[in-house]
Structure 1
Amino acid sequence: MAAVPISTSASGEESLSHLYYQNVCGMNSNIDGYLLAFSGGCYDIIALTETWLDDRTQSSYLLGNEYNGFRCDRGPDNSRKLTGGGVLNAVRRTLKAHRIDDTTWNTLEQVWVSIELTDRKVFLCVIYLPPDRTRDKAITDTHVQSVLSITSKAKPCDEIFVIGDFNYPSLCWRPSHDGFMYPDPDHSTFSICALALLDGYCTATLQQINDITNENDRCLDLCFASYRDVAPSLSLAPTPLVKAVPHHPALTLALKNNDCNEYQQISYLSRFDFRRANYSEMIQALDNFDWSIISIETDVDIAVSKFSSIISRFMETFIPKTVRNKTNKSPWQTPELRRLKRAKNAAFKKLSKFGSLPLRDHFRRINISYNRLSRRCYSAYRRRIEAKLKSDPKKFWNFVSEQRKESGLPSTMVLDNKIADNAAAICNLFASKFSTVFTNEILTTEQISEAGNNVPISNGCISSINLDDNAILAAARKLKHSNSPGPDEIPATLLKKCVLPLLVPLSHLFRLPLATGKFPVDWKQAYMFPVHKKGDRSNVNDYRGISALCAVPKLFELVIIKPIFSHCQHAISDDQHGFLPKRSTATNLLCFTSYVFESFAQRSQADAIYTDLSAAFDKVNHRITVAKLERYGLAALFYTGWNLI
């Protein structure tokens, strides 16, 4: 674990966070170009309007690993048109940022984001007012209300910025001594909506600071900032992010970020490198080990704990460790490209500090070299991925799958008005959410018996399960290869490769739960991962949890599932497709469509009823489940201890 200063300033002076803004007039025609621009970006905040994006473009693919994205795409709620428009606010992950939403603002193409700097918060709104909505008084009033709502929440030290394309070419601006811009009544034409907008900003004490005009000497992109003694520094960007857009010059805004003695912990994770493990020597050592220390143990929890400790010692001996620091390195980056990126960032810092023309030209030259090499590296990376289609199809389709889904978690997350902006706090929010899903309903014996009455009583029963070496070997062959361990730190790959010398301890460990009716406590542990379902990615309520179990109980399940399934198979409906071998949702859909087509051919009616049980597996009462299994003839396998599985 290492500590590094959060701020980039060298000697206690003020550091700067840089915001880039541009109306890009469409990103969807050059997604890869923007991906490369974000991966090599010098800016802490990137605000874009007229993105023209829709739900087919994932933010994680567009922004990579360095930025959190907050988007508002065009849709039927906020526009009369279905294409074009849209705004994007990308904030570097090193900054704590979260979105501020209100359902009454859904009619606007805007995004409000709260960003925490070292000494204050910055509330940033990125907005696009299309030409056909500039005279819509309701739209203007809604936006003004959002500004006033944020103003009421801000503290005196906080800053508010509203930046975007307002499409008011009839407004002209004149500068003042403090750097703020004021409407020029002699050269401007004020519509009712424009007056309402300016009055609202005046009430919120926001003033316009952009004096950079386009080639028509008009200012379509405006930036309103909290009133201070001196206006913030807004300037023309040295180069556009991807392309120059007519009528919309790219802008940069420097935000002072007062330096403080805060330090950020950089984690260097040490983990086993199972790909470099010396399995041949490990197998020999395991084979020579005296496993009687496990075989004589009658307490299942102690036996499992001893087994895990022994395997852990062998892993320390025969499996090397690797240290990996968490970086945001893109997969196509080369050492030369990373060197150019560092030089580009250094040149940008000097340009931001001194602003001379030679420094601007120097930055542009490095930026051109970086962009040229970045495109070549990315093209070579794509060619390597495409070549995997023949040599390694799994890796190719993993790449394709990653492009279709969002990855990672936002740096700031919310659960019922509780905000978390660090890893520990975010984990606690997810723990609080997932714990509410599970139920532990207390039922009487009569209720349990009544619930199990719909299960037919089996004529036969299973009093024991064959746990010989052949059954364990057959189960190990079915175990999927994985180098990702569960809480016991034993991966499935190790069990598969070392199963022969482990037959004696595994056989004893598998017999103990069946003999004592007690499931090991360690085997109940699991790593839980949040998976986004739908909606806002920063809202914990929009996630479901999946569990990564230990590999040893997975192997135990494969050993006992075959005889149990064979015993219960006669009672399972032929229409059941879930959780059955060689059946899936695909076979279910195939049978359903065949039935519907047959109904069409016979001119008969076909009705379908769809039901969905919320968090069904999390709410299953285990005592009822055990009672049903007992009626199936599995009573001898499930003693009282199994009720707590």
Structure 2
Amino acid sequence: MNNKDLTVYYQNVRGLRTKCLELRQSTLCNDFDIIIVTDTWLHDGIFDAEICDDRYDVFRADRDLASTGKSTGGGVMILTRRTLGVTLLVLDSSASIKPIAVELIWVSLSMRVCGSHSDLIICAVYIPPEPRIMSDNINALEEQVLFVNNLHTNSNYLVIGDFNLSCISWENDCPLFLKKGPKEVQAAGMHLVEELEFINLKQFNFLKNYAGNTLDLCFSNLPLLICDNHTPLVNVDRAHPPFTINITDFNKQPLRESFIPRRSFYKADYASISENLSAHDWPSLLRTGTIEEAVDVFYDILYACVDKYVPLRKSKPSRSYPKWYSSALIKIVREKYKAHKRWKKYGNPTDYDEFTLLRCRERRVQKQCFNNFTSNCQVNIKSNPKLFWTFAKALRWGSSYPKSLSMGIDKFLDRKEICDGFNSFLKTLSLITIRRISFQKTSLMG
């Protein structure tokens, strides 16, 4: 395994409503490229910032409780590193067949980031174990996968999730179809596996749960390395053992981080600035015209000095840590990443032992820091309520850009489209303002 492998974590969490804080703290201690979660039980009242920090983009497909008639359950979610530039894959609803009670979501990872000749398309899916409609849902899922494959024939695929097909046993890399459960579900499951194999999607997960079943399946046309995960992000449901996936056939090339030009005032030539500002006849310059004109003259001269005598430097955005992280914890996090990087580069077992030790220490200190922070908030809520509300607002809204925005019937799904949409909206507002001013002038003249 090296730094350019794509690492994916998968887990059926059996509900996240009471585990959001646990998941958020666990993701802070890990560095997966992609995290796929099924059976989330999430709803609109739970915000993305409550689930993970701003290193990740969040793609969710929560269960539609109104149309399903359910009170809870279901839902899938994909968390992807922002540096990967993953985008939501939107399907034409008029051309594709959407499963009635199957939660699923499609995302696409560009070939430019993969270092490959093809994009990587990921589908996270959850099929509820309802025998009455399960066969229809499996058939509808099959049609949608084939529909996407026909649209993107040259892409790589990762179709993963909780299929709840206990009627299939996976032995020696081959499916064994059992006479177990409703016959319609058996036939639909068999046909799904055969059709996926026909389009070269092979099943890679053979980890069994406590009952000897493999309910969480992973289909792909790429060579995958799947292993059991012994440090899960949240408590494990024994029917769904979590696992990690290493995609070694990729040459991961994350998008370059944007460097922000900033003025380096530490290296400014203050002697020349002082000499330049002293050479101006300020009384005569500021005495002419209105006060607004005098302010403009002052800032023009000041900005000219800054441009001339204060050099620019490129600064990379630094990782932002939660408010409750102590300096000691941040140091442990940095040392942990250094040890992990050394292990990936040289494969020295000593480096991995150091990484493991630091990871355990990070979890322990992180929990201690968070408990101290919450206790401090409770004790000082009367004297310093701002401390609590700053933390609460950060979890509610977060500091990241939204993945999508809508204006009327138009929907914008990436950052460029969002910026163009804002531009169009502001142009519309300016035109309305101009028309109102013109109308007022015409009315006065009339």
Q: Report the TM-score when normalising by structure 2.
A: 0.77
* Higher mean C-alpha displacement, 59-68 vs 374-383: 374-383
Partner of 2:271: none
Q: Is 1:105 aligned to 2:98, yes or no?
A: yes
Other structure's SS at 1:144 match: helix
The correspondence for 2:422, drawn from 434, 439, 463, is 434
% same residue = 23
The alpha carbon displacement at 1:56 in A equals 1.5
Q: Is 1:205 aligned to 2:205, yes or no?
A: no
Equivalent residues in 2 for 1:333-482 (5 A)? 333-345=325-337, 365-386=357-378, 389-394=381-386, 396-409=388-401, 426=415, 428-438=416-426
Residues 262, 77 of structure 1: CA spacing in aligned structure 2 closer, same or farther, 3 A cutoff? closer
Structure 1 residue runs without a partner (length 5+): 1-6, 10-14, 176-180, 274-281, 421-425, 440-614, 636-645
What is the alpha-carbon distance in structure 2 between the residues aligned to residue 221 and residue 143 of structure 1? Answer: 15
The correspondence for 1:114, drawn from 84, 100, 108, is 108
Q: Is 1:225 aligned to 2:220, yes or no?
A: yes
The alpha carbon displacement at 1:92 in A equals 1.0
- 2:299 maps to a residue whose letter is S
**Which of 1 and 2 has greater Rg?**
1
Residues 323, 202 of structure 1: CA spacing in aligned structure 2 closer, same or farther, 3 A cutoff? closer
The alpha carbon displacement at 1:134 in A equals 7.6
- 2:240 maps to a residue whose letter is H
The alpha carbon displacement at 1:141 in A equals 2.6
The alpha carbon displacement at 1:293 in A equals 1.9
Partner of 2:301: 310
What is the alpha-carbon distance in structure 1 between the residues aligned to residue 324 and residue 411 of structure 2? Answer: 39
What is the alpha-carbon distance in structure 1 between the residues aligned to residue 355 and residue 307 of structure 2? Answer: 49
Other structure's SS at 1:235 match: strand
The correspondence for 1:159, drawn from 142, 156, 161, is 156
What is the alpha-carbon distance in structure 1 between the residues aligned to residue 401 and residue 18 of structure 2? Answer: 27
The alpha carbon displacement at 1:162 in A equals 1.0
What is the alpha-carbon distance in structure 1 between the residues aligned to residue 348 and residue 126 of structure 2? Answer: 32
Partner of 1:178: none
Other structure's SS at 1:94 match: helix
What is the alpha-carbon distance in structure 1 between the residues aligned to residue 396 and residue 413 of structure 2? Answer: 28
The correspondence for 1:170, drawn from 163, 167, 170, is 167
Other structure's SS at 1:371 match: helix
Question: Conserved in 2, the CA contact under 8 Å of 1:73 and 1:109?
Answer: yes
Question: Conserved in 1, the CA contact under 8 Å of 2:2 and 2:344?
Answer: no
Partner of 1:23: 12
Residues 353, 298 of structure 1: CA spacing in aligned structure 2 closer, same or farther, 3 A cutoff? closer
Equivalent residues in 2 for 1:36-75 (5 A)? 36-75=25-64
Counting matched residue pairs gives 417
Other structure's SS at 2:80 match: strand
Partner of 1:608: none
What is the alpha-carbon distance in structure 2 between the residues aligned to residue 260 and residue 128 of structure 1? Answer: 28
The alpha carbon displacement at 1:256 in A equals 2.2
The alpha carbon displacement at 1:347 in A equals 6.0
Structure 2 residue runs without a partner (length 5+): 266-273
Q: Report the TM-score when normalising by structure 1.
A: 0.56
- 2:122 maps to a residue whose letter is L
What is the alpha-carbon distance in structure 2 between the residues aligned to residue 243 and residue 347 of structure 1? Answer: 27
Residues 77, 261 of structure 1: CA spacing in aligned structure 2 closer, same or farther, 3 A cutoff? closer
What is the alpha-carbon distance in structure 2 between the residues aligned to residue 213 and residue 390 of structure 1? Answer: 52
Q: Is 1:328 aligned to 2:306, yes or no?
A: no
Partner of 2:141: 143
Partner of 1:128: 126
Partner of 1:194: 189
What is the alpha-carbon distance in structure 1 between the residues aligned to residue 187 and residue 247 of structure 2? Answer: 33
- 1:153 maps to a residue whose letter is L
The alpha carbon displacement at 1:139 in A equals 1.7
- 1:147 maps to a residue whose letter is V
The alpha carbon displacement at 1:58 in A equals 0.7
The alpha carbon displacement at 1:71 in A equals 0.7
What is the alpha-carbon distance in structure 2 between the residues aligned to residue 353 and residue 78 of structure 1? Answer: 51
Partner of 2:236: 244
Provide the aligned C-alpha RMSD in A: 4.2
Partner of 2:268: none
Question: Conserved in 1, the CA contact under 8 Å of 2:83 and 2:256?
Answer: no
* Higher mean C-alpha displacement, 60-69 vs 392-401: 392-401
What is the alpha-carbon distance in structure 2 between the residues aligned to residue 214 and residue 352 of structure 1? Answer: 30
What is the alpha-carbon distance in structure 1 between the residues aligned to residue 21 and residue 314 of structure 2? Answer: 31
Q: Is 1:84 aligned to 2:73, yes or no?
A: yes
Q: Which has the higher contact order (CA 8 A, sep 6+)?
A: 2
